[in-house]
Structure 1
Amino acid sequence: MTLIAAAEVGFWLLLVAGLAARYPLRMPRLGGALLLCVPLIDVLLLAAAAVDLRRGEEPSAAHGLAALYLGFTVAYGHYVIGWADRHAAHRWAGGPRPEKPPRFGTARASHEWRIWRMTLVAVVIALAVLQAMIWAIDDAGRTEPLRGWQFTALRVLGIHGLIALSYMVWPRRETRPRDAAGHRR
């Protein structure tokens, strides 16, 4: 679990360092290089988990969480970095104010389904990594914790799907009236 916490901290430190180098320090190449290093943290985390299992360590929550973390970073990494980059550009480089996600109607439902598709990619990656770990261990008695993480990933996907579906079935409607120009009063 310590390694996962270190990877999480490393993710955010590299993200902040990359954005700080890019905008306040005005070193865009260094900032870009640091941002490109963010996925390497996950590769190191997965490698550490694989080495751990290879040495005969019992599969644990840390191994399952490492697989989920890798899936999340691959699927959501670009989105999170882009979001942070737009906010940093606005704050430190005079860039335009980042758009907020839509709040109402079918636009919000479409946004939720786009986010759900990222969750789907994250879950597929996590399931594949967990299955590779299970095959590598090749001992049904020892792999039960990893199978549990597979079911956890599928539950997350299902819950997120229900949330996205709720925006489609019961879309939120704007309650404040608008004037003739379309501005809220």
Structure 2
Amino acid sequence: MNIVGWMIVFCEVAFWVVIILGLVARYIFKREKLGLVLLALTPLIDLLLLITAGIDLYRGAVATQVHAIAAVYIGVSIAFGKSMIEWADQRFQYYVTKQGEKPKKLYGIEYSKQYFKSWVRHLIAYAIGATLLAGLIFWIGDATRTEALSGMLRFWSFVLVIDLVIAISHFIWPKKEKKKTIN
């Protein structure tokens, strides 16, 4: 694995460490401003990954799947970052500090709407990531060096369409609550 691959791993770990530290500062140590500052660091982690991948390609590296995944990671992190922080915040409040409401499982039309909102975030992530991929392809200007980036763009387009089909299917066949059995 090259430097970009290791940077993706570092960024994913750093993302969750910063979130956990932000939540601990906010709820355990009652330092709300410090918690907010820590949570606000998450976009800088994405910027670090973008710079690392850009420098690697600028130095003449052939774009690999790892470079393509870096663009996908950045798109997903930006589009889903806030909702992931909210998800972690809600669970931290309930399970760690024993405050707040228990996270609710959704079913039926509520679940369908929530899944469709998630698909819209996926579309935003795609728009960001695809723009980065297209930008890198244009910047490098050599189809043989950017084949992995083009391949990822095609694959992600396919995944996005499949995810839309799944989102629509939830409106046709809504998710039902599992019946509890008594033993």
Aligned to 1:119, which of 119, 122, 126?
A: 122
**What residue in structure 1 maps to residue 80 of structure 2?**
76
State the SS of the aligned residue for 1:11.
helix
Aligned-pair distance for 1:49? 0.3
1:95 aligns with 2:99: yes
Q: How does 1:16-95 map to 2 (within 5 A)?
A: 16-95=20-99
State the SS of the aligned residue for 1:172.
coil
Aligned to 2:142, which of 127, 139, 144?
A: 139
| Structure 2 residue runs without a partner (length 5+) | none
Q: Distance in 2 between matches of 1:90 and 1:122?
A: 29
**What residue in structure 2 maps to residue 182 of structure 1?**
none
**What residue in structure 2 maps to residue 150 of structure 1?**
153
Q: Distance in 1 between matches of 2:27 and 2:96?
A: 6
For 1:49, give the aligned amino acid: A
The two structures have a TM-score, normalised by structure 2, of: 0.89
Q: Distance in 2 between matches of 1:159 and 1:110?
A: 17
Aligned-pair distance for 1:170? 1.3
The two structures have a TM-score, normalised by structure 1, of: 0.88
For 2:92, give the aligned amino acid: A
Q: Distance in 1 between matches of 2:117 and 2:35?
A: 28
**What residue in structure 2 maps to residue 180 of structure 1?**
none
Q: Deviations over 1:131-158 (max 9, x none)?
A: 0000110011211110011112212212
Larger radius of gyration: 1
| Structure 1 residue runs without a partner (length 5+) | 177-185
Pick closer, same or farther for the CA change 1:50–1:114 going to 2, 3 Å: same
Pick closer, same or farther for the CA change 1:174–1:26 going to 2, 3 Å: closer
State the SS of the aligned residue for 1:87.
helix
Q: Distance in 2 between matches of 1:165 and 1:75?
A: 20
Aligned-pair distance for 1:166? 1.4
Q: Distance in 2 between matches of 1:172 and 1:87?
A: 22
State the SS of the aligned residue for 1:23.
helix
State the SS of the aligned residue for 1:56.
coil
1:8 aligns with 2:12: yes
State the SS of the aligned residue for 2:28.
coil
For 1:100, give the aligned amino acid: K
